[in-house]
Amino acid sequence: MSDEINHDRRSFFGTAAMTLAASQFAFSGTAEAQPSKTKPVVMRHAKPGANTSFASLKQIDAGLLDVGYAEAGPADGPAVILLHGWPYDIYSFVDVAPLLASAGYRVIVPYLRGYGTTRFLSNATARNGQPSALAVDIIALMDALKIEKATLAGYDWGARTANIMAAQWPERCKAMVSVSGYLIGSQQAGKMPLPPKGELQWWYQFYFATERGREGYDKYRREFAKLIWQIASPQWHFDDATFERSATAFDNPDHVAIVVHNYRWRLGLAEGEAKYDDLEKRLAQSPVITVPTITMEGDANGAPHPEPAAYARMFSGRYSHRTIKGGIGHNLPQEAPDAFAEAIIAVATDA
């Protein structure tokens, strides 16, 4: 089932509370529809950009990392982990987090490796950006925070990380919201040539494959990120303050190494670590995701992304897709926080 939601008309509600009734946000399975178990939840309305900071920023040792993360909501609430993409950071969720917290969720928003205040605990650790490593990081974070099971939600790198976790550790994933759907890939798939128009969309991947690209990204981190924001969300009129809040995350000393390795690994131009080989082999089989899922897409996403029909069969549990209308681009949580938070509440309460 596919739903289209017009983001523009949400502004009609102003700051009034909204009740998310079960009948409005229940979603159907790919096989047989099941009765909805969603309970009504009252959630505040969020004007994009209304919040400029998080209530609480913390650090915790988890696996290979000292992870920086924001936390909101009651400590005993059901856990939701929000995962950002590139070149973005935790501020993609600055309006989403308080919405979920007000609905009773414990919200965790970590900086991925190579971003913000997240640091490697050892200088000897490989600065590895392969997707499986990022997923293992979040499992380690859940262990450190004593979170047995969480609803995962993300976009871009964050959606891919959530996909991998849901596919390989479904017992740790209650439900998932994934922008642009199914993003699990492999080096073998990354080596397959695309038609010229498709390759053009991935220009930065080829740029990062060169030493000139690595040096250029290091020198022009902010300029590069701002260009990607503009291309990926052509109708999002973010201001300088909004951009700068996120841009500080790219000052992380490992940022360039992680980003460049990620894209070089995808093309088979950089090796991964042997300890992730078995996981990568399983992921290369394109595992079907069984946990309850809502996929989302903005109607003005300028970044490379698959069409919803191309990945619907990759979800065998309760599943639906939502297209968010109103000029919403790649950074869907920050551009349409209400819609993103509503999807999380729907999938989490119906799981």
pLDDT tens track for 273-292: 999 999 999 999 999 999 99
Residue 351: predicted pLDDT = 80
Residue 1: predicted pLDDT = 53
* Spans of the chain, pLDDT less than 50: 9-40, 42
- DSSP annotation of 171 reads G
**Residue 318 near residue 34, CB atoms below 8 Å:** yes
In the block, residue with structure tokens 């992380």: 252
Q: Residue 284: how many CB atoms within 10 A of its CB?
A: 14
Spell out the long-range contacts of 233-236 with Cβ–Cβ below 8 A and sequence spacing 24 or more. 233/298, 233/300, 233/301, 233/302, 233/328, 233/329, 233/330, 233/331, 233/335, 234/300, 234/302, 234/329, 235/300, 235/327, 235/328, 235/329, 236/327, 236/328, 236/329, 236/331, 236/334, 236/335
**CA 265 – CA 129 distance, rounded (Å):** 8
Residue 35: predicted pLDDT = 31
Q: Which residues of 311-343 are buried (b: 16+ CB within 10 A; e: fewer)?
A: bbebbebbbbbbbbbbbbbbbbbbbbbbbbbbb
Residue 166: predicted pLDDT = 98
**CA 307 – CA 252 distance, rounded (Å):** 33
Residue 14: predicted pLDDT = 36
Tokens of 97: 């987090």
Residue 37: predicted pLDDT = 38
**Residue 129 near residue 265, CB atoms below 8 Å:** yes
Q: What is the pTM of this model?
A: 0.90
Residue 5: predicted pLDDT = 65
**CA 52 – CA 30 distance, rounded (Å):** 39
* Helix, strand or coil, per DSSP, at residue 277: helix
